[in-house]
C-alpha cells in the first residue's frame, strides 16, 4: 500500500542494539521496502517484546501501522517514542502523518511544526507540511515548504510531483511541466503526473504534447475520467472533433450521474455542428441539474442554429435569470431582442 502522505523514512540506525536485534530491524525494514507491512510488524513486535524501548523498531512499526491505515496503533508507537525521546523529529512527523490521514489538519500541522523546530533539516517534514498547506489553500506557504524540502534534498522526487500539481493549480504551467517531467522520469507509471503535465501543455496551447500525455495517462489508468475530459477538449482545439466526441462519450460512460459529463458531450456535438445531438446532451445535463446557467446558454445557441427561435429565447432568458451579472449579458440581450424582432415581423 502506498500512502499519498509520505510514510516516514525507514529508521536504520541501530546504535545500542545487539547484532541479533540489528538483523531483525534490517529484515523488517526490507519487508517495508517490499510493502510487506504486516510481515514487518511481526518482526518489529518480536524485537519490542524483548526491548520495548528500542526506538528504531518502534518507529518502523509505527510506519508500518500507518501504511496499513491502522492509525491508532501507529499513533501509539509514535507517542511511546516521544515519551522516551521528547525531541524525536521522526515521531512528530509520524504523528503529523496520522493526524492528517484522520482529517485533523490543525493537529497535524502542530506536530510537523514540532518536527521542523527540532530538526530544521527534516526534508520530509517540510514536504508533509507543504501538502497540508496546499490542501488548505495556503499556496505560497506550501510552495515555500516544498522549496525548502528540495533545498535540503534535491533528489526528493515526490516533492516535484506535488509542487508540479501546485504550479498547475496556480497557472504556472512552464514550471509545472518542468517539475512533472522530473517526476515522470523517476516514476513513469504515475498516471496523474501525465494527466497534469498534459493539462499544463494544453494551457500553453501545445496540444499535440498535451494529447500525447493524456493518452499515456489513459493507458496507465483507463478509468481516469479527467484525462478523457482534457483530451476531448484538446482534440476539439485541434479540430479532431470525431475523437473529441468519442472521448466525451467515454466520460459519460465513466460518470453518467454527473451533469458535466453531458455538458461536455453537448459541447463537442455543438462544435461538430451536430446541433440536434448537442441539444439532447444538454437536455440530459439539465435533467441532472436544472440550475446550470451555461447549459441553458449553449442549448439556446444550438436552438438558434436550428432556427427554433422561441426555444432559444426561453433558454437565453433562463440563462440571464441564473447569471444576471454574466459578462456576455449585453450580447445575450441583443440576441433576445433580435429574436423578438423576428417574431414581430412574422
Joined grid coordinates for residue 14: 541501530
What is the fold of 1-119? 1.25.40
Q: Give the model confidence (pLDDT) of 203-236 as tens digits.
A: 999 999 999 999 999 999 999 999 999 999 999 9
What average pLDDT score do residues 103-107 get? Answer: 97
Kindly report the average pLDDT of the chain as a whole number. Answer: 94
pLDDT interval class at 19 (50, 70, 90): low
What average pLDDT score do residues 232-251 get? Answer: 98
Q: Give the model confidence (pLDDT) of 183-199 as tens digits.
A: 999 999 999 999 999 99
Residue 21: per-residue pLDDT: 80
- In angstroms, rounded to a whole number, what is the distance separating the alpha carbons of residues 76 and 56? 14
Please state, in angstroms and as integers, the Cα–Cα distance from residue 84 to each residue in 16, 87, 122, 145, 195, following that order.
15, 9, 20, 29, 45
Quick check: 126 pLDDT over 70? yes
Residue 12: per-residue pLDDT: 39
pLDDT interval class at 20 (50, 70, 90): low
Q: Are 14 and 22 in contact (CB under 8 A)?
A: yes
Quick check: 59 pLDDT over 50? yes
- End-to-end, the C-alpha distance of the chain in Å comes to 69
Q: Which long-range CB contacts under 8 A does 212-220 form with residues at least 24 apart?
A: 216/191, 217/191, 217/192, 218/191, 220/189, 220/190, 220/191, 220/194
- In angstroms, rounded to a whole number, what is the distance separating the alpha carbons of residues 57 and 334? 74
Residue 181: per-residue pLDDT: 98
- In angstroms, rounded to a whole number, what is the distance separating the alpha carbons of residues 24 and 38? 15
Quick check: 5 pLDDT over 50? no
Amino acid at each position: 500500500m502506498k500512502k499519498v502522505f509520505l510514510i516516514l523514512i525507514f529508521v536504520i540506525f541501530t546504535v545500542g542494539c545487539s547484532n541479533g536485534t540489528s538483523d531483525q530491524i534490517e529484515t523488517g525494514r526490507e519487508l517495508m521496502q517490499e510493502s510487506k507491512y504486516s510481515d514487518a510488524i511481526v518482526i518489529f513486535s518480536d524485537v519490542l517484546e524483548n526491548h520495548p524501548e528500542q526506538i528504531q523498531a518502534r518507529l518502523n512499526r509505527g510506519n508500518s501501522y500507518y501504511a496499513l491505515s491502522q492509525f491508532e496503533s501507529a499513533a501509539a508507537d509514535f507517542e511511546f517514542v516521544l515519551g522516551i525521546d521528547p525531541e524525536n523529529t521522526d515521531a512528530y512527523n509520524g504523528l503529523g502523518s496520522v493526524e492528517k490521514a484522520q482529517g485533523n489538519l490543525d493537529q497535524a500541522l502542530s506536530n510537523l511544526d514540532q518536527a521542523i523546530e527540532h530538526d530544521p533539516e527534516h526534508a520530509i517534514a517540510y514536504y508533509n507540511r507543504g501538502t497540508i498547506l496546499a490542501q488548505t489553500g495556503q499556496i505560497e506557504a506550501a510552495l515555500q515548504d516544498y522549496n525548502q524540502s528540495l533545498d535540503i534534498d534535491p533528489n526528493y522526487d515526490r516533492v516535484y510531483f506535488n509542487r508540479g500539481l501546485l504550479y498547475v493549480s496556480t497557472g504556472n504551467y512552464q514550471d509545472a511541466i518542468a517539475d512533472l517531467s522530473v517526476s515522470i522520469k523517476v516514476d513513469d507509471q504515475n498516471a496523474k503526473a501525465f494527466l497534469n503535465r498534459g493539462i499544463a501543455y494544453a494551457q500553453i496551447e501545445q496540444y499535440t504534447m498535451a494529447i500525447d500525455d493524456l493518452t499515456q495517462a489513459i493507458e496507465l489508468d483507463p478509468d481516469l475520467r479527467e484525462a478523457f475530459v482534457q483530451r476531448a477538449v484538446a482534440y476539439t482545439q485541434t479540430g479532431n472533433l470525431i475523437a473529441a466526441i468519442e472521448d466525451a462519450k467515454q466520460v459519460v460512460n465513466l460518470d453518467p450521474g454527473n451533469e458535466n459529463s453531458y455538458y461536455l458531450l453537448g459541447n463537442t456535438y455543438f462544435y461538430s455542428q451536430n446541433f440536434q445531438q448537442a441539444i439532447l446532451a444538454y437536455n440530459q445535463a439539465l435533467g441532472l441539474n436544472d440550475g446550470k446557467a451555461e447549459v441553458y446558454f449553449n442549448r439556446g445557441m444550438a436552438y438558434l442554429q436550428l432556427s427554433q427561435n422561441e426555444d432559444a429565447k426561453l433558454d437565453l432568458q433562463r440563462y440571464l435569470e441564473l447569471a444576471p451579472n454574466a459578462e456576455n449579458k449585453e450580447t445575450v440581450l441583443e440576441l433576445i431582442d433580435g429574436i423578438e424582432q423576428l417574431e414581430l415581423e412574422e
